[in-house]
Amino acid sequence: MIIGELINSSRKAIKPLVENYDGEALLQIARAEVEAGADFIDLNCGTFVKDEPERLVWLTKLISEELSAPICLDSPNPAALKAALPLIQTPVVINSISAESKRYQEILSLALEYGAKLIALCLDGKAVPQTVDDRYAVGAKLIEDLVHAGVASDNIYVDPLVEPVSVVQTGGQVLLETVRRLHQAYPEVHFICGLSNISFGLPNRKLINRYFLAQTIGAGMDSFILDPTDRALMGCYLASRMLTGQDKFCTQYLKANRRGLFND
């Protein structure tokens, strides 16, 4: 599953568009993400501290009414999620829940009520667990708790959390090893990450993102939050899935090729 990351108010180009309710410009970006092959459109208004729920509701209405594209609500705020979810008629992703939060129960209830796909962050406190063992333990507990609560395995997307290698040099390695182990123990759930965090603070980020994507797919990652308009990145995604035996008869690769999603 590919979630298009572009509509995020932390991006310099997006913040003023949400601020000024510039629907046309935002629709154009969302449309480009869908045409580039995104399965869901991430909507994140996290920088609007005071009125995030209202902003997210406005964005959700805009994208679901004008585009009917599947939406990924990127907010840890139950009030924002609660207000936006009833507006969506298409499949929906809730991004995200974590083990730490007092909001766990509220977000879990919303996911069950709406049959939403749910991204579960490997987080049980303020800081990201730094060892593979600790991160694995948080992920495993989340999976077991969510399944026990009645969330379908196919709706669970575990996010082991990508840290920039410029900050934590072993960040890529810890992520790969955690996914490998969780995927082996829980092959029925999905694994997702916000890919571009890996390259934060480094030059030529696109190159780093592409190589990292290929490695994570080898480890068991099957879903990504990324920039789908990066054609080489989409090519990398489709080729990596095919090369690791996850594309029966190479159907997805060939279909994307015919749609011209990544050919030069």
Contact set with ligand THG (CB under 6 A)? 5, 8, 11-13, 44, 74, 95-96, 119, 159, 162, 193-194, 196-197, 200, 225
Output 44 or 155, the one with its CB closest to ligand THG: 44
Q: Of 20, 35, 31, 22, which is closest to residue 63 (Cα–Cα)?
A: 31
CA–CA separation, 91 and 70 (whole Å): 5
**Please, what is the minimum distance in Å from the beta carbon of residue 226 to ligand THG?**
8
CA–CA separation, 165 and 252 (whole Å): 31
Output 49 or 264, the one with its CB closest to ligand THG: 49
Output 43 or 85, the one with its CB closest to ligand THG: 43
CA–CA separation, 65 and 58 (whole Å): 11
**Please, what is the minimum distance in Å from the beta carbon of residue 146 to ligand THG?**
15
How many other C-beta atoms can be found within 10 angstroms of the C-beta atom of residue 76? Answer: 17
**Please, what is the minimum distance in Å from the beta carbon of residue 42 to ligand THG?**
6
Token digits of residue 170: 């072993």
**Please, what is the minimum distance in Å from the beta carbon of residue 261 to ligand THG?**
20
Output 220 or 247, the one with its CB closest to ligand THG: 220
Output 194 or 235, the one with its CB closest to ligand THG: 194
Q: Which residue is at the shortest CB distance from ligand THG?
A: 194
**Please, what is the minimum distance in Å from the beta carbon of residue 118 to ligand THG?**
10
Query: Pairing mode, if any, of strands 92-98 and 117-121?
Result: parallel
CA–CA separation, 213 and 223 (whole Å): 10
